[in-house]
């Protein structure tokens, strides 16, 4: 049986794995799926109606993947459409007072730091780190293993493997630290740095294979917001 604190409120239509832990005063609304190993800390609120004026009611879902931790007072809303749930991947850390809005898609092993806000329909790739008190505009796409600096205002898409910062956020560098921590080789970093510098200079990519191919695929995918600009400060490895 799930371990649910007596002060928590869990709706009977929530679908909760047997080993989920739900802390004091947390609220789990109907149409929420919590996978095995999920932990929900005090005062978190999961699966409330989307804050979208077009939402007309009905059954829509929030899904949280296995071993994800949702810390104190975080708020995550369910989707506006039954076709695709708001989704948080596996082994994520959603820190305290984070707000993740309707229809957002968060990949695996993502860290979203204190008081960050994701607007509706945001997509975050796996292994991404989002710094504290960051604001992310609706429909923004963030590629995998990206790094978002704290206090950033992200209004356009963020390339995979890259770091952005500022208000508005601009591409500042390759996410070398994140790549090294993820086990990427020196040669991987060299290849990605060359691709990054080509894009920064205004040139197009000259390779569509391997890691550079992932950059090319991201650039070719549909985008509502366009790609964040490149900051012209020289990159420091």
Rg (CA), the chain: 18
Distance between CA atoms of residues 199 and 204, nearest Å: 6
- 37-68 pLDDT, tens digit per residue, is 999 999 999 999 999 999 999 999 999 999 99
Q: Write down the residue that tokens 């609220």 correspond to.
A: 27
103 catalytic, yes or no?
Answer: yes
Tens-digit pLDDT profile for residues 198-227: 999 999 999 999 999 999 999 999 999 999
Q: How does pLDDT run across 68-80, given as a tens digit for each residue?
A: 999 999 999 999 9
pLDDT of residue 236: 46
102 is catalytic: yes
SS3 194: helix
Query: Is 227 exposed, middle or buried, given 0-12, 13-18 or 19+ CB atoms closer than 10 A?
Result: middle
Query: Tell me: the pLDDT tens digits for 121-161?
Result: 999 999 999 999 999 999 999 999 999 999 999 999 999 99
Catalytic residue among 102, 121, 156, 171: 102
CATH topology for the 3-220 domain: UDP N-Acetylglucosamine Acyltransferase; domain 1 (2.160.10)
24-32 mean pLDDT: 98
23, 107, 120, 132: which one is catalytic?
Answer: 120
| Annotated catalytic residue, options 43, 99, 103, 178 | 103
139 is catalytic: no
Mean pLDDT of the chain: 96
């Amino acid at each position: 049986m799930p371990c649910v604190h007596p002060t928590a409120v869990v709706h009977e239509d929530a679908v909760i794995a047997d080993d989920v832990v739900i802390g004091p005063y947390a609220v789990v609304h109907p149409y929420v799926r919590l996978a095995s190993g999920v932990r929900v800390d005090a005062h978190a609120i999961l699966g409330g109606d989307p804050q979208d004026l077009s939402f007309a009611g009905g059954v829509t879902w929030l899904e949280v993947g296995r071993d994800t931790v949702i810390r104190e007072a975080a708020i995550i809303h369910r989707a506006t459409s039954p076709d695709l749930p708001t989704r948080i991947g596996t082994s994520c850390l959603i820190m305290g007072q984070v707000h993740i809005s309707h229809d957002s898609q968060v990949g695996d092993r993502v860290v979203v730091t204190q008081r960050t806000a994701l607007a509706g329909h945001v997509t975050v790739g796996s292994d991404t780190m989002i710094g504290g008190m960051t604001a992310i505009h609706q429909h923004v796409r963030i590629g995998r293993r990206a790094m978002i600096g704290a206090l950033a205002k992200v209004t356009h898409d963020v390339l995979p493997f890259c770091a952005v910062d500022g208000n508005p956020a601009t591409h500042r560098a390759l996410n070398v630290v994140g790549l090294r921590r993820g086990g990427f080789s020196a040669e991987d970093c060299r290849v990605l740095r060359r691709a990054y510098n080509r894009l920064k200079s205004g040139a197009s990519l000259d390779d569509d294979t391997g890691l550079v191919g992932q950059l090319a695929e991201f650039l070719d995918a549909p985008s509502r917001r366009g790609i964040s600009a490149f900051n012209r400060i020289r990159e420091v490895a």
